[in-house]
Amino acid sequence: MTLVPRDVPDVITEDWHRGRGLRARLRRRREIRELDELAARLGWCWEDTVTGAGLVHHSKTAAGIPHTSAPRVQWVEGGPPLTLVVRMLPGQVADDFRAQAHRLAEGMGVAMVRVSTDRHGWLRVALLARDPLTTPMPLPARPRGTSAAVPVLLGADEYGRPVTIDFSERVHLIVQGRTGSGKSRLSYAILQQLAAAPDAVITGCDPSSVLLRPFTGTRHGALQVLGADPLAHAALLDRLVDEMDARLARIPARCDVLPLGPDAPFLFVVLEEWLALLGLAGSDRKLRDRLSTATRRLAAEGGKVGVRVIMLPQRAEANEVGGGLLRGQFAYRLSLPVDNVDAVRLLHPGVSLPQAEAHIRHGQPGVALYDAPDHVSGRLRTPWMPDYGAYWDAITDLTS
């Protein structure tokens, strides 16, 4: 195994021609020797780590002698970050290593590892001294009048790439997170990006009367209900279902979607604190069913006519999030820190139990697990908003 440095100069330089070639060559040899020693140490550390993480194969030779096969580090790239190029064992896949990423990081003595596919049968394991998502991410300015069909920023992934949601597609969004997880700040960022869109109306239910309150008196406020009156919330959702049905009836012949425009803008149905909203119905089973049925219909049938549901529960629970029928409608799913492993795995079935537990125990505010269409998943840092006052001022300015 060798280490491939990225930024070590070539031995043959102008220094050689100036009589300093010997010193350059000796310096080069010393650097290579030190890098090779580091590579050897990393190799031994890696072997112990993958053994402890259960990523080795145990077998016996024909003579009955026990034998252990381990995925080998073939070479190391000097970075930063230091990156191990690993050849997997037959039958192993990258997800086997991602599921044990927390063990690999602990064993290698780093804050975290980033596992990516190099080529068939090979991995790249980057050793990160610190979590790249610890730095706050500012919310970029979105010009007034930008269409709601322009992708909305949800955050940046571990590589610094933007993660967006394209509402021009027939998609809905669910975000869960306990108090203090950063869910409110993310909600502020999403709505701030949509508030001034000329082809969007932000509607919905807000039992807390906080998230949607800045829209009071604006063109959005007429289709919003704030406060603890469950009948008012149910009436609004019924009204939205009626609007959806009217739009469905207007879909032109030989089309399966309604062209959106001034008479049919995007309808963003924001459901703040969904579980609290259902709780307002108390023991009135009929009222709870009325709320749930309307929401399921909006999510299941509204995509063709510009209806987009944004659900914001503190915790996704199998029964309270409408069961699989409703939950399955949310193509975009984000989990900020919550207090329940089952809630994480409910929205992110591809996340292993150790990963879910790590997110519960060590998750930082503003850092979310996410799943998006085409099997895209990972971690992201949500945009940073100063405080509620800044959000209020932004909405007031954008809707005036």
Residues contributing to the annotated binding site for ATP: 177-184
What 3-state DSSP class applies to 272? strand
Going 383 to 388 to 394 to 395, the CA torsion angle's sign is: positive
What 3-state DSSP class applies to 325? helix
User: What angle in degrees, to the nearest 10, is found between the helix axes of 230-249 and 285-301?
Assistant: 30
CA 180 to centroid of chain Cα atoms = 18
Alpha helices in the chain (DSSP H): 14-15, 21-52, 94-98, 101-108, 183-194, 230-249, 274-280, 285-301, 323-327, 341-347, 353-362, 388-399
Query: What is the β-pairing status of strands 376-381 and 367-372?
Result: antiparallel
Query: Residue 290: CA atoms inside 13 Å, Cβ hemisphere, count?
Result: 19
CB distance 173 to 189 below 8 Å? no
Alpha carbons 227 and 131: distance in angstroms, whole number: 40
Residue reference for tokens 């799913």: 333
Q: Which helix (H) or strand (E) holds 173?
A: strand 173-176
Residue 294, number of CB atoms within 10 A of its CB:
22
What 3-state DSSP class applies to 47? helix
Query: Residue 105: CA atoms inside 13 Å, Cβ hemisphere, count?
Result: 18
CA 267 to centroid of chain Cα atoms = 24
**What are the b/e assignments for 42-53, b being 16+ CB within 10 Å?**
bbeebbebbeeb
Alpha carbons 293 and 296: distance in angstroms, whole number: 5
